[in-house]
Amino acid sequence: MAKVKLYGIYSTKVENNQLIIEAKNVEELLLKVSELEPNLSIKELKRSLIFVNNKNITELSMFKTKIEHNDNISILSPIAGG
Tell me the whole-structure pTM to 2 decimals.
0.92
CA atoms of 50 and 26, how far apart (whole Å): 9
How confident is residue 14, by pLDDT bands cut at 50, 70 and 90? Answer: very high
Size of the chain in residues: 82
Tens digits of residue pLDDT in 23-80: 999 999 999 999 999 999 999 999 999 999 999 999 999 999 999 999 999 999 987 6
Domain boundaries, the chain: 2-60
Q: Pairing mode, if any, of strands 18-21 and 49-52?
A: unpaired
